[in-house]
Amino acid sequence: MARNEDRERLAEVHKTDLKDSNLNEDFVTWLKTKGPTWLLIIVAFLVAYFVMIRWQQQATQARDEAWIDLMTTTQPSSLEDVARRHVAIDGIADQARLNAADILLFDVQRGRTTSADGQETTALDAETRAAHLAQAARLYQEVADEDDGSEAKRLAAICAFNGLAAVHESQGQIDEAVAAYKKAQARATGWIPALAALAKQRAATAAELSEDIVFATPPPPPVLPAGPAAPPLSFDPPTIQTPPAPPSEPVDSDTDGQ
């Protein structure tokens, strides 16, 4: 009985060894035939994953740099450079051009321009004022021309049309200003009613800017009717009375003799 059990155990061990050997051979065969293909797939997946992570990091870094440039730049010419460098990031290009145009228009409204270091202001002459208005109109027009009717461009387009209208008003071009306000109204209708109503009101009152301002003249003072002459006023000065002198005291003769 013991020998039969040993033989059976040896047979089972032999079968197990054969099975393991077959598995090893199958695995080796799989590695030789399909292993390189799967290995390439895994490597390609890992490479694509790391490339995607790197691209996301670069995109985030580029977006941060673009917003920092926009928030820290105050000169119109520098803002135009920001718009050219970051044209593909969010709405940086449109916002930079609008900021530059707003600064130019603000200088025209106050009649002074700020130096590059922001420390001094200089009065605008007629030539500089005209150059500021022309540059602001160009920047506003660039933003308006890029309006494709999408929701993403709606706010920038409204600001651009309102800016163009303000430039036209500064140049005395009332008809062009009204047309720009109507474009802003049409773009804001159905989105922000307050902006549409404001553009409509400005378009309706823009013609008043071309009218001469007439200041009210105060009426002349009323003329009093002639009457009898008033009697002259008499003034008698008051009489000043001098108080009597106090009586003198009597002199004792005895005291004087002593």
pLDDT tens string 146-181: 999 999 999 999 999 999 999 999 999 999 999 999
**pTM for the structure as a whole:** 0.65
Rg (C-alpha) for the chain, rounded Å, is 49
* pLDDT exceeds 80 at position 135: yes
Using CA atoms, how far apart are residues 27 and 21, in angstroms rounded to an integer? 10
| Structure confidence at residue 214 (pLDDT) | 64
| Structure confidence at residue 5 (pLDDT) | 60
| Structure confidence at residue 54 (pLDDT) | 86
| Structure confidence at residue 247 (pLDDT) | 63
When the pLDDT of each residue in the chain is averaged and rounded to a whole number, the result is 82
Calculate the alpha carbon distances from 236 to 213, 229, 231, 233, 239 in Å.
Answer: 58, 22, 15, 10, 9
* pLDDT exceeds 70 at position 52: yes
Q: Which of 185-194, 207-216, 249-258 has maximum average pLDDT? A: 185-194
Average pLDDT over residues 78-100: 93
Residues of the chain above pLDDT 90, percent: 48
